[in-house]
Amino acid sequence: MDLSTTQKLDIEYQSALNYCFTILPNVSRSFAIGIEFLTGELQNSVLIGYLLCRIIDTIEDDKDLDIALKHKFLQEFPKCFENDSILIEYQYLAKKLTGDKQHTNLLENIDKVFCVFKNLTEDSKIVLKKCVIEMAYGMADFVSRYPNGIRISSVEEYKKYCYYVAGTVGVLLTDLWSIHGRCISKQNLQLLNKNSILFGEALQTVNILKDIVWDAKNENSIYIPESLLRKHGLDHSNFLLPEKEQQSFSAINEMLILANDDVNYSLDYVRKLPLANFRIRFFCIFPLLLAIATLREIRKSENIIFSGKNIKVSRKQVIFIKYYSILASLFNFLLAENVVNKIYFLK
């Protein structure tokens, strides 16, 4: 018996959704754990929101892609929301990229991501479209501003960069919480909106700090503001030299202070989420506590940043943090700063 058009569309949608859930842990293990805790429309919305952001990031990160092409595909990404035929160009682009194979595979299957996107509720689609477009335009701006590799000049510019690549995600998530969450009053939402950008900035700053050498060598990108380096007699050309290590860490310590402040604002962000939203709270708490543990690893060994070695939280600690996050999603006192600071001393 021939399948009806509706049945064919349902099969296509389920296949696309299965792909999205399958690729997720291959492009982000920590987000996969958080998204696994969500359910229903919210789960699908966060899943697709993350994958769309990852696609943009994959294009922006590729070190061998011609700058003009990179800018073009970032600048024109919003057209993907309006015209399916554009997706073929992005699938073709994937074959030119030299980055992580899982990330390029995601770009090759961009049509599946948009297939699921089109089946989200209108409210969710509006949120995702708005934030993803802002991210794409922001990244295009920085690509054109620094065609030979990003060199952040000031703390103000650093915050602007973080807003585009991570703050927009904080806004996206908060808007989704307001639509799909429980018992979130207008007052709650105002408090969440106040710190939503800093929630994204906190996670981004920790990622930057743990990957300073990798970013410089593999992506020719330096995110530590030069104005901050100059306070310590350094600049972008010499701060990774072995003989400058002590001065460099003094400069980076200022970034650690910024990260710590952002983390504290982020803890406040999560505490403002009503306990009825324990799944959403876990989604936020787990990566945040991982970030805190990563900051501890950086502080514990100053030279590890400049050694080029991976800064990682041990598997044992990740398991502890996962279960701690489950409990903290149910009890706010476990997110008090004096309690959370004990994460720094995990054995």
CATH number, domain containing residue 70? 1.10.600.10
Same domain, 29 and 99: yes
pLDDT of residue 3: 63
Please, what is the average pLDDT of the chain?
A: 91
Rg (CA), the chain: 20
Residues 130 and 278 in one domain: no
- Which domain does 79 fall in, by range? 1-146
Please name every residue paired with 222 in a beta bridge, in sequence order, or none if there are none: 151
CB-count exposure of residue 249 (10 Å: 0-12, 13-18, 19+): middle
Q: Note the pTM of the prediction, 2 decimals.
A: 0.93
1 has pLDDT over 50: no
Q: What band does 347 get if pLDDT is binned at 50, 70 and 90? A: very low
Residues 93 and 17 grouped into a single domain: yes
Nearest to 252 by CA among 219, 223, 293: 223
- 74 torsion bin: left (phi>0), alpha (psi -120 to 50), beta (else): alpha
Same domain for 132 and 226, yes or no, is: no
161 and 138, same structural domain? no
Residue reference for tokens 């943090």: 321
343 pLDDT above the threshold of 70: no
Instruction: Provide the pLDDT confidence category of residue 307 given band limits of 50, 70 and 90.
Output: low
**H helix or E strand, kind and range, residue 153:** none
- Whether residues 98 and 202 share a domain: the answer is no
Predicted confidence (pLDDT) at residue 99 exceeds the cutoff of 70: yes
How many degrees, rounded to 5, is the angle at CA 337 between CA 332 and CA 341? 115
Sequence-ordered alpha helix ranges (H) in 183-277: 186-210, 212-218, 226-230, 245-271
Distance CA 111, CA 89 (A): 11
Domain end: 146, 171, 187, which one? 146
Amino acid code (one letter) for 184: I
Mean of pLDDT values over 191-203: 95
Domain count, the chain: 2
Domain boundary pick from 110, 125, 146? 146
Are residues 121 and 235 both part of a single domain?
A: no
Contact 286, 329 (CB under 8 A): no
Three-state DSSP string of 112-146: HHHHHHCCCCHHHHHHHHHHHHHHHHHHHHHHHHC
Q: Give the residue from 99, 119, 146 where a domain finishes.
A: 146
Alpha-carbon distance of 52 to 68, in angstroms, equals 21
CA-nearest of 78, 218, 208, 205 to 140 is: 78
Q: Looking at residues 125-136, what average pLDDT do you find?
A: 98
Look at 1-10, 239-248, 287-296, 312-321 and tell me which has the smallest mean pLDDT: 1-10
Could you tell me if 167 and 38 lie in one domain? Answer: no
Residues 199 and 221 in one domain: yes
The reply to whether 206 and 293 lie within a common domain is yes
> 329 and 293 in contact (C-beta within 8 Å)?
no
Res 298 pLDDT > 80:
yes
**What average pLDDT does the segment 117-146 reach?**
97
What are the backbone dihedrals phi and psi of residue 38, each rounded to the nearest 5 degrees, phi first?
-80, 165
Asked if residue 169 and residue 130 are part of one domain, the reply reads no
**One domain, residues 107 and 193:** no
Q: What is the pLDDT of residue 297?
A: 85
Instruction: Determine the 3-state secondary structure of 222 from DSSP.
Output: strand
CA atoms within 13 A on the CB side of 287: 23
Answer for the pair 197, 163: CB distance below 8 angstroms, yes or no: yes
- Residues in contact with 326: Cβ distance below 8 Å, sequence separation at least 6, in sequence order: 282
Calpha distance 316→297 (Å, rounded): 14
